[in-house]
Structure 1
């Protein structure tokens, strides 16, 4: 058995608690990892709230989280790229969470952690950094192009800004005043997300922007679509249906070893800062999620685990 943090029924934070879970041996193409750090994302509380029942089915009680870094303790059949003792990171397998002492990953959605990358930074690569990497791949903008990012101050937003700037793209990042520094630190142009943000964008890009990446949805997405030059791509992770209706699309998430390895190399050489801004010990997992659910956290939030005196999670529990 391993200790985990999750929710016992759909609802608010009051449904969250610690509980023990039984960890099965890894199946074909899977690995078990002793978790060192877990990324915390808005999707976590949205799954708990039940707003994603149609796309993210869960079995209650459910462990929160979907991205971790850790040490491999067991490998399943047909796994050749990882061995026990390897330091890795990746997306949790279906039915498993990240806020737990040990969990199961799909080998095809995991990668080796470079020595130069911290546990915390590695843990947030699959969701935020990976989404940003895939979004820019889908947008396919050339150096010199202008990209508009809505919701630019969060984990996905700041990763997108950094990666886009590295490609020579001019970025207009729409975010609250509290996140101005996070936007400008990437070399992007900050646009206040107040009522006049669209007017500010139109003034900065009078001929229209060359691409839009939306992380907000709703009316801002509608307005952003009108700020594009003809034929400019638009993608959204907040509302892919509305984006499609506006001539755009969602992000095609690849979540592969190759993508995760490429992003980790960018982190290792200093090209990409995963923007981990808050760290909580596992005992404060609820506070970590509350920080994200408040909507005021800039950058990424991570839960860290102390395994100084752990039992091997690959061994059978009581």
Structure 2
């Protein structure tokens, strides 16, 4: 009896350690998706880069559905909801890749991390979650940090510097819808439908943009180098997503969420190694303010809420 009781805590501790390891690997790998996206976007339009990401997500979800015996569990009845989710996600990805064409990876990712702040506000409005003045204050502080990064970038690249905010808003809406749907659907069927609808939306956009000369949606035939970059986008995005799924299955979301901010650090490292870009002091101040406000919000959610607003049962799509 005592051996059973003592083995259970060890098992839970091993699961927690495994979950933390999976999340660490995921956030370490995630900026590589953006590095490949930035490299691909020099010759490939953002809609086509986004399509490659969705195609690989869909291809990776297919065998997982078969292995888990969930092939017939994805619901046509909810296809409309999943199409909306995929549409919002497509807009977020296209906006972010468009940003990466002219902006440093670390800066764009740092601005994107106002997403938990936006999710907090949207959840209080639409999901009627109780949010106190402390978290609202943290949201305001986080937006101030984002402005410290946006302001010099805005002077350099114009309104494109605001696109990571659009990405953050779209992902917040996506996560909020996912939270509602995830109560009755499993993660892998949801990923399958998201990939399927996202792929379809991107292909429609590329068909509309074909021959238009649009730098965002005009389809092009990639050369060998660009194809390698697209392959890198798809494989690393799929791998990061799978690692995140395993992380959330092994450990609570409230425990894993703070690790997501390590993505800013890894993005800075990879951005410096590949593009020789490094944030200046003002941008670092903005990064630390965003991280501090986001971590405070997570701490308040963990302390006072049974389920944080950032908690979903499906992989969230960091850009």
TM bracket, shorter-chain basis: under 0.3
TM-score by length of 2: 0.25
Higher strand share: 1
TM-score by length of 1: 0.25
